[in-house]
Amino acid sequence: MKKLVLFLAMVTLFFTTTSIADAHPGRLDSNGGHNCSDKSKAKGLCTGYHYHNGNSGGGSSSGGQSNYTQPTTAIQAPALTKVAVYLNNVKQSYTPSAYMKNGTTLVPMKPIFEALGATVSYDSATKKVTATKDSKKIVIGVGNKTAYVDANGTTSTINLSHPAEVYQGTTMVPLRFVSQALGAEVTFDEAKLTVYITTK
């Protein structure tokens, strides 16, 4: 009887060792894992790439195995369409450059208002830009498509096609609206991606 029990124990140990060997044939790679063999997959012993001895190569570990995940690549932001701006036939130089977004040309707030003869201020608490020239006042809110123009005590509400926004730490405002609100004429050469502003 003792011989029979001993024989059965040895047979069980032999098959267990064989199964483990079949599940993990071949050498481990630098991550401490390898791909399952077709034989092991067929037996249901493992699937795909896995690790051994709890070495997860930085991934999560369950029972000494884990799935290997390739690092994700950063998604690049879409390139903005740069636009050249001329004021009274003089090319303007902005930092950051003027660009077109959803059909609207945006330019840095301070240079455009000052070039058009307005004084400008920005309230960081309310995120509102206020520009004043003579008896005219313009108020634009960052992220808000509604702007206000106060001329001689009469306030008009203007719906913008694109709101002011912050880009590279600079408040960018819609060029056409700003220029026309301050009495300038604006033409856009689509083929050359160039805006021409003429003051009166």
pLDDT tens by residue, the chain, 200 residues:
656 555 655 655 555 444 444 444 556 666 666 666 777 666 666 666 555 554 444 444 444 444 444 445 555 555 689 999 999 999 999 999 999 998 999 999 999 999 999 999 999 999 999 999 999 999 999 999 999 999 988 999 999 999 999 999 999 999 999 999 999 999 999 999 999 999 97
| CA atoms of 106 and 113, how far apart (whole Å) | 12
As separate numbers, helices (DSSP H) first and strands (DSSP E) second, the chain gives 4, 16
For domain 81-198, which architecture applies? 2-Layer Sandwich (3.30)
Domain boundaries, the chain: 2-51, 81-198
pLDDT at 59: 42
Phi-psi region of 152 (alpha: psi -120 to 50; beta: other; left: phi over 0): left
Nearest to 177 by CA among 135, 143, 151, 139: 139
Q: Is-contact 178 111, C-beta < 8 A?
A: no
- pTM (2 d.p.): 0.60
Q: How far apart are CA 84 and CA 163, in angstroms?
A: 20
Contacts of 9 (CB under 8 A, 6+ apart): none
